[in-house]
């Protein structure tokens, strides 16, 4: 029986692959060693929603790079189609796409599980956020009908880097959380002694707590 392939899981190593892009041949993830990257697939070139997405990503490209994070687009279109689409976007929307776009033969989509069921060979709107150790940290998965929110993808990169660096968790809607604003969450205590110390430290002003299991602080 043929093994059914699907998307990699969170925490998996990003699969090694050699790909043709609008910036030449690239080896993933080796060519992005020590960098984070966001690989995002789109259904097809010269389509309305995808065009709005590429413009939106490009408008935020400098912000991604500020977090040591690169962008990589992808669809099953040929590289010639990608190049002409980039030219159209530049000529008609005054936006130069500066990040590479993978021209997939179908192998990348198969490896990452990106073919949309019931939609022919079109790739879904998937997003893989990969860290500097080539580990897949976040996966977003959208239907063809819904364009992505690039600010949420950018927020996710920043939040994961803050979490890694400070060993904290990030609340909903951070940095505008309804309960604790821009504070971050201290991981819950896992034993009685630590739980008691949490409340004591809160009284001393080291951080704030609703209870021993919900403590937070400003970075």
pLDDT digits (tens, 9 = 90+) for 50-79: 999 999 999 999 999 999 999 999 988 899
Coil vs helix vs strand at 177: strand
Q: What pLDDT, on a 0 to 100 scale, did the predictor assign at position 118?
A: 61
Active site includes 209? no
Please indicate, yes or no, whether residues 85 and 172 belong to a single structural domain of this protein.
Answer: no
Residue 117, pLDDT > 90, answer no
Identified catalytic residue from 50, 69, 209, 215: 50
Let me know if residue 198 belongs to a domain: yes
- Structural domains of the chain, count: 2
Q: How confident is the model at residue 22 (pLDDT cuts 50, 70, 90)?
A: very high
CATH number at residue 199: 3.30.1020.10
More confident residue, 127 or 119: 127
Please indicate, yes or no, whether residues 120 and 180 belong to a single structural domain of this protein.
Answer: no
Please indicate, yes or no, whether residues 172 and 111 belong to a single structural domain of this protein.
Answer: no
Cβ atoms of 37 and 130 within 8 Å: the answer is: yes
Q: What pLDDT, on a 0 to 100 scale, did the predictor assign at position 116?
A: 61
Give pLDDT tens digits for 177-213: 999 999 999 988 889 998 888 888 888 888 999 998 9
Mean pLDDT of the chain: 92
Question: pTM score > 0.75 for this model?
Answer: yes
Residue 47, pLDDT > 80, answer yes
Q: What pLDDT, on a 0 to 100 scale, did the predictor assign at position 164?
A: 97
In angstroms, the CA 60 to CA 71 distance is: 10
Lowest mean pLDDT among 19-28, 55-64, 139-148: 139-148
Coil vs helix vs strand at 45: coil
Let me know if residue 80 belongs to a domain: yes
Please indicate, yes or no, whether residues 86 and 192 belong to a single structural domain of this protein.
Answer: no
Residue ranges making up the domain that contains 117: 17-148
- Cα 119 to chain center, whole Å? 24
Q: Residue for token digits 């050699």?
A: 18
Please indicate, yes or no, whether residues 182 and 121 belong to a single structural domain of this protein.
Answer: no
CATH number at residue 27: 3.40.30.10
Residue 1, pLDDT > 60, answer no
């Amino acid at each position: 029986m043929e093994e059914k392939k699907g998307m990699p899981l969170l925490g998996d190593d990003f699969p090694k692959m050699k790909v043709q892009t609008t910036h030449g041949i690239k080896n993933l993830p080796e060519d992005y060693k020590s960098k984070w990257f966001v690989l995002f697939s789109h259904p097809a070139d010269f389509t309305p929603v995808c065009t709005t997405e590429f413009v939106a990503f490009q408008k935020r490209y400098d912000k991604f790079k500020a977090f040591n994070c690169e962008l990589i687009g992808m669809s099953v279109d040929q590289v010639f189609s990608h190049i002409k689409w980039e030219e159209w976007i530049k000529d008609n929307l005054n936006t130069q796409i500066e990040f590479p776009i993978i021209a997939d033969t179908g192998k990348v989509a198969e490896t990452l599980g990106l073919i949309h069921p019931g939609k022919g060979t079109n790739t879904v709107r998937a997003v893989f956020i990969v860290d500097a150790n080539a580990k897949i940290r976040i996966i977003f998965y959208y239907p063809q009908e819904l364009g992505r929110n690039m600010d949420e993808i950018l927020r996710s990169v920043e939040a994961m880097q803050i979490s890694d660096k400070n060993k904290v968790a990030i609340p909903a809607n951070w940095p505008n959380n309804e309960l604790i604003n821009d504070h971050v969450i201290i991981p819950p205590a896992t034993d009685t002694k630590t739980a008691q110390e949490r409340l004591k430290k809160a009284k001393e002003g080291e951080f704030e707590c609703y209870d021993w299991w919900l403590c937070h602080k400003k970075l």
